[in-house]
Structure 1
């Protein structure tokens, strides 16, 4: 067993960083290569690289080495239950279901190796390691706050014909916006810093629209249909339905752009911090449609930003104005429509002053 794809970005960074990418077996100290995928691992082996193995201290299998029924299952793939070994010494530690290597012996093996690594590592390198551990913890926190696990469901609510969010989703997005505004990102990771700032700019624009135009209805925040609340008045009806249609299109455009921004973060983290980041979960998908009309899933991505580029500020008013022009005023009863997937949202939302 090489790389365990169920291990989080935080646990992998702790395991490999504190082991200095070397086997924990005494006197082995073999430098280990990260096993990206099986075909790549075969190529690395052919060229003499030793593939690192993320070994369980306590097995996840009842008949496995050092299985402990009292150990919480949710902790099996965490740093505390993993040790980095070369294939040879992984096999030795696990031989005969770990009979010669009980749990405390493997934990001591790991601790001794990590102490030796710390003693041999310069203060500067230790500071870099500590910084990267903090950075991956912030990224894991972003995943939770941004609700990546339920991204499809959240985007389907915003992409509704009548855009809406659950109260907890709306509260979570506003909390995320404040959290991102507080962040101070470290130097040395330009793609990650760019991607998070780009995500923040898009989210800020969306939150401005939600805060300005959505209203609470029970446990739902929704874009109100004011045109449904008036008596017969043709000119006022046209004004209100046009305003609703323009804002609904802007919500859809910003939801698409936020999905692109989230995927830009995923690509940046994989490029600068952990090549296996979200290799199992993958990118987040945008969900459009419903069970009646059919559900459509899309993977939307930004191109890699040019070096030294600066994230753009998104102007909600500029985006609303451009959308209204493209919709010829916004009345959905007229012909104009927008191919939302073809829109360069950043261009439409570029500040005009």
Structure 2
């Protein structure tokens, strides 16, 4: 007897929340929702790990209808991957494999959701500091790579970073002098780095006039620098 698809409240919402926006097939970038003529349309199909009905792929007679339709037995797949898993090559995708896909995809999201109830003011401050420290490490790593290409320019950037960090500690927003300093430094670098890098720094300086946080802008500039460097 064929089983009936009937999912408990919240199951589909949980799947779409924890799928990280795409098909559960590893590295598949097919999104959970697409827009057609400006309207959102569900782009993935709800797939059973153990089949809903007898004769289906990975059917387990020991499971009840409720267990087959439960969250733990469901994943989201795009149409091509759903066809491969259930029709084209079902023997290549056993229950254990599909459950591992589900566990790996949902682990981070479930941890984050559980953590929301445990966030105290102290923990929130710690999380923010962790992010800032990570951003500092990435920025310094980008400058270190830049140093391999032009040590003089990298030294100017490091000194500029120090000055702007001091300015940010002294004030919640950059003053015009700090913005001018960055702009002037970018222009001075023209003799030692290529024009694209100079243009990027100049643009970063001008954008800082509109932003209260120097760290965010410097991070953006660092990523631009890193993208312009040759791969190691």
Under TM normalisation by the shorter chain, which class is it?
0.3 to 0.5
Q: Higher helix share goes to which structure?
A: 2
TM-score by length of 1: 0.28
